[in-house]
Structure 1
Amino acid sequence: MFKDYNMNQLTLPLDLEIKLQKNDIAFVIHELVESIPNEAFAPFIQHTGCPSYHPRMMLKIILCGYTQSTFSGRRIEDLTKDSVRMMWLAQGYEPSYRTINRFRVHPVMQELIRQCFVQFRCQLVEEKLIDLEAIFIDGTKIEADANKFTFVWKRAIEKYEASLIEKSNRLYEELLQHQIIPAIERESDEQLSISELKEMAEKLEEVVADYTEKIEASTQAEERKALRSARKTPKQLLKQVSEWVTRKEKYARDFEIFGTRNSYSKTDQDATFMRMKDDYMKNGQLKAGYNVQIATEGQYTLAYGVYPNQTDTKTLTPFLDRIETDFFALPKHIVADAGYGSEANYQDILEKRHCEALITYNQFRKEQTKKYKQDPFKTSNWAYDEKTDTYTCPNGQVLTFRYTSKRKDKDGFERTFQVYECENCTGCPFRANCTKAEEGKHRKLAVNVRWAQQKEYVRMKLSEEKAGHLYAQRKTDVEPVFGFLKANLGFTRFSVRWESKVEIETGIALMAVNIRKYVARG
């Protein structure tokens, strides 16, 4: 005997909600999107044309699709036709993949996703799943939707431009020397600008046109032959200069796209070529990608940002600004790994934001070892006399203060160094181990007082039981989020291009991770 099975008979219930389990992920998505204020959806209202799908419904099905590791618009469209939870969220509507893709990259989606994170955080606080004591910050690189062979390198463009400048300057001098064209009023003696190259091309064009008129007016075969021969050189030079104008315009566009970066992809010009962790062959292959930064607590992502910088050090300050502006006020403790430890970042957190920076620096672990502390050639181990403001080297020689030096990095951050110099290094038996300075020159020591104080602050803080426990918690709080995002959700490559759209998709993917963890909490 079999259970009754009849395809020609209407079966109840028709309400799809009854088919879902009580703790189904669709209910969490529904409640989260419904908690977003109506004002956030106002920009989608249209007073003319065919009525559009409700943005709440569109946001729900996109979030639901990402929680099921479905990132394609076509696949999400398919789910609205054969998935019970998606059919319930869409309430029978079946938007096309084009509609889904257009909505996913809509500029207003940035605000909707931000509201999702704000509302989700409020829900976590209300349910006491996070305590707002600290945020844990980390970053990962995710591959862009770009061809890995469409790279443009800044160093190569600088090399080509320098060669073009040299050739154009030399040609200009030769044209003046042979009186082919008159002098051009130049803005700079170093290089010809684009407008000056265009003016040079116009004057060469006049020379060529003059030869052409003479050829057409001449009736003598020998004379016409001589004129054509004379026209050949300026005609070739005109073609070359016109090509230089095109190249120089391209280089100017390239430098504008580069900004502070060293590379970009022709397919997605906002993407930078970075070294990815999935380089299993260890051959240093670079891929176009983005640096995704997140702030977590309780393994929930509370804020995120997307940056084209390869290193985490330069992303911390703009990311903290974004958190304060778009998401929430910073808690007392900011926890991150050694990749964020720098003088500029410590100064920003301690002096500007008045928070506690539980962030190590590159040499932190090494400086704690017995070998490092007992190494007499490490300048941090040299004896310092505060009264005389002098250091003593391993050979017993005194280094006295000489002058103050200031250095600026590419971002304009200024570092101040106190420079000390040894009185006499002649005949020192430790010279080879102590300095690489030439014979006859004395050992110099540049001390960054502020950096030394910041490192001492970090060492003191992390020696405290509470701060040490928070820092140790970082590995189990923020890193599992990236593991879930890439390994469990399968989100290893963006499906949209340009930074603004990539940022939207990042928010959707991270919120999908949040929702899945929230549902699985038991």
Structure 2
Amino acid sequence: MNKMRPTFKDYNQNQAWLFPPSIDELIPKDHPVRIVDRVLEQIDLRELISTYHAEGKPGYHPKMLLKVMVYAYMDNIYSSRKIEKALKENVNFMWLSGRAQVDHNTIARFRSERLVGIFKNVFKQVVLLLAEEGLVTLKRVYTDGTKIESVAGRYTFVWGNAVKTRKEKMQQQLEEMWDYAQSIADEEDKDPEPPDFKAVDPKKIEQTAKKINKILKNKSSQVEPKKKAKGRYIEKNFPENLKKYQEQEQILQERNSFSKTDTDATFMRMKDDHMQNGQLKPGYNAQISTEEQIIINYTLHQDANDLHTLKPHLESHQELYGSLPEELIADAGYGSQENYELLESKGIEGYVKFPTFDREQKLAGRNKGIKVFDRDQLYYNPEKDFYVCPMGQRMDFKGVKRTRTKSGYAQENHYYQAKHCEGCPLRGSCFKGSGNRTVQRNPQLEYYKEKVREKLLSQEGEKLRKKRTADVEPTFAQLKHNRKFTRFTLRTLPKVEIEFGLHALAHNIKKRIA
């Protein structure tokens, strides 16, 4: 029985083409790379082109480099070396670049230098194109934040409290040595006016240390070896140490920490790992506003708390589009008197939870879990301005305490105090402190909470709250989980803004294709 032999199509690597195909013929008409090309061809790049000089050797066209960069981020390629490799091997990149062989250094410089300060304008123009197509209106935005780790070393931290403690300890040691030197000095060597050790600078420390060591040398026979060594150590090290601490304080500004290998990065509590351990890492707080899962605006912050990011985030929106959104929906991380007042003053309809809103709703209509001794459960008489404790005792107004938030916003808290808590049978459950129980109330915040509560519990409010979880949160999931964007590759705030912006722009173009 004859066995049939298999047949194959012709295979000849050396076969010559009579009519060689162009690269364009190899790319499908609906391929995403063509969408990137069409979208960015509509963008005004005069601002980017103006960053180049007329002198010198001609460079690669910034339009080509921008197209390549955006498409690379759409294709989850973020390394400049991998982009260089794709330009040589990937037909889509070859078509987009016109077969230009761009080295990784040029790509890296374009991303981290040329795009700084101008990329947000490119991003805005693309969003406006999407608005023209009816995909977004810019009138209603869902705002949220997430923390993204810096490329900085995880153990290269500088803590603000540690710097303050070291400075205070150094000043104390210097003062002690000054007092000791003055106690043994001859009359002609004594200084009637001691230095202000809390306001010394490196030069002043050096002068003071020299005076101390001069006295110690003159009274060498009376001075313990340890004191001599301490004096020499102060003169040698304290001026440089103080200079270093002052430089660190200049970097810190209002922050509580920074990384030595990326001084713009702040140590923040990241999401728990798989063992439910909290992660304290250097990073940035990324804020986005979305509509239909399209990123309308993004800002990067060094503050781990979302509370203080809303104002600069809205200012960025105003700068981009010349107007503010009509509605803003956000979670309880933004709920504060300052933010409620901000939204009201800007004419923005805010659907922003306050921190205890979810707990209120969870316990509403149920006795189980309600803490009857909480201030919010006490009866309050708004006409006569007093509370009533669980035993029926009046808690009268005692005074006002004015405070300021981290951003300088002024708040007023009203204090109320009971009169006869001693001997009360409920005292152990009501409160644990000594004396009579005191509660505080912020009237303006309570006013805003009442308004917000009414809006959030309305039919429209419930719809928007559900919509928020299906709009802005999945956008972060796309960026961080699907695109594996959990750590920046660039350092310093201006550069990480570019990196995040490229991810945001690539995301928006992908949403347009979808």
TM-score by length of 1: 0.89
Partner of 1:363: 356
Query: Which one of the candidate residues 39, 44, 48 is aligned to 1:37?
Result: 44
Query: Which one of the candidate residues 45, 58, 77 is aligned to 1:70?
Result: 77
Query: Which one of the candidate residues 163, 172, 179 is aligned to 1:173?
Result: 179
User: Residues of 1 paired with 2:268 and 2:339: CA distance?
Assistant: 22
Contact 1:66 1:512 in 2 (8 A): yes
Offset, 1:278: 5.2
Query: Which one of the candidate residues 314, 324, 333 is aligned to 1:320?
Result: 314
Partner of 2:61: 54
Offset, 1:284: 2.5
Offset, 1:11: 5.9
**1:103–1:27 CA distance, 2 compared to 1 (3 A):** same
Contact 2:48 2:115 in 1 (8 A): no
Partner of 2:424: 428
Partner letter of residue 36 of structure 2? I
Partner of 1:219: none
Offset, 1:206: 6.3
Query: Which one of the candidate residues 136, 148, 153 is aligned to 2:159?
Result: 153
Partner letter of residue 462 of structure 1? L
User: Residues of 2 paired with 1:436 and 1:86: CA distance?
Assistant: 69
Deviates more, 1:309-318 or 1:51-60: 309-318
Deviates more, 1:407-416 or 1:244-253: 407-416
Partner letter of residue 154 of structure 1? G
User: Residues of 1 paired with 2:226 and 2:137: CA distance?
Assistant: 80
Aligned pairs for 1:270-285 within 5 A: 270-277=264-271, 279-285=273-279
Q: Secondary structure at the match of 2:116?
A: helix
Deviations 1:169-196 (A, max 9, x none): 1011112222285538666354643232
Contact 1:420 1:445 in 2 (8 A): yes
**1:90–1:189 CA distance, 2 compared to 1 (3 A):** closer
Residue 141, structure 1, aligned to residue 147, structure 2:
yes
Offset, 1:27: 1.7
Q: Secondary structure at the match of 1:495?
A: coil
Corresponding residue pairs, total = 502
Query: Which one of the candidate residues 338, 343, 348 is aligned to 2:337?
Result: 343
Deviates more, 1:462-471 or 1:291-300: 462-471
Contact 2:65 2:107 in 1 (8 A): yes
Partner of 1:512: 506
User: Residues of 1 paired with 2:193 and 2:91: CA distance?
Assistant: 74
Query: Which one of the candidate residues 398, 403, 408 is aligned to 1:407?
Result: 403
User: Residues of 2 paired with 1:174 and 1:187: CA distance?
Assistant: 14
Please list every run of 5 or more consecutive structure 2 residues that lacks an aligned counterpart in the other structure. 1-7
Offset, 1:358: 0.8
Offset, 1:413: 2.0
Offset, 1:326: 2.8
Partner letter of residue 344 of structure 1? E
Offset, 1:475: 0.8
**1:472–1:337 CA distance, 2 compared to 1 (3 A):** same
Residue 23, structure 1, aligned to residue 19, structure 2:
no
User: Alignment identity in percent?
Assistant: 31
**1:171–1:511 CA distance, 2 compared to 1 (3 A):** same
Offset, 1:13: 4.7
Residue 80, structure 1, aligned to residue 80, structure 2:
no
Partner of 1:297: 291
Offset, 1:391: 2.0
Deviates more, 1:365-374 or 1:237-246: 365-374
TM-score by length of 2: 0.91
**1:386–1:205 CA distance, 2 compared to 1 (3 A):** closer
**1:382–1:56 CA distance, 2 compared to 1 (3 A):** same
Contact 2:142 2:471 in 1 (8 A): yes
**1:278–1:485 CA distance, 2 compared to 1 (3 A):** farther
Q: Secondary structure at the match of 1:507?
A: helix
> What is the root-mean-square deviation of aligned Cα atoms in Å?
2.6
Q: Secondary structure at the match of 1:403?
A: strand
Q: Secondary structure at the match of 2:127?
A: helix
Deviates more, 1:248-257 or 1:429-438: 429-438
Contact 2:329 2:352 in 1 (8 A): yes
Please list every run of 5 or more consecutive structure 1 residues that lacks an aligned counterpart in the other structure. 212-225
Offset, 1:412: 2.1
Partner of 2:254: 260
Aligned pairs for 1:193-204 within 5 A: 193-203=201-211
User: Residues of 1 paired with 2:224 and 2:302: CA distance?
Assistant: 53
Contact 1:303 1:327 in 2 (8 A): no
Deviates more, 1:30-39 or 1:233-242: 233-242
Partner letter of residue 354 of structure 1? G
**1:195–1:386 CA distance, 2 compared to 1 (3 A):** same
Offset, 1:205: 7.0
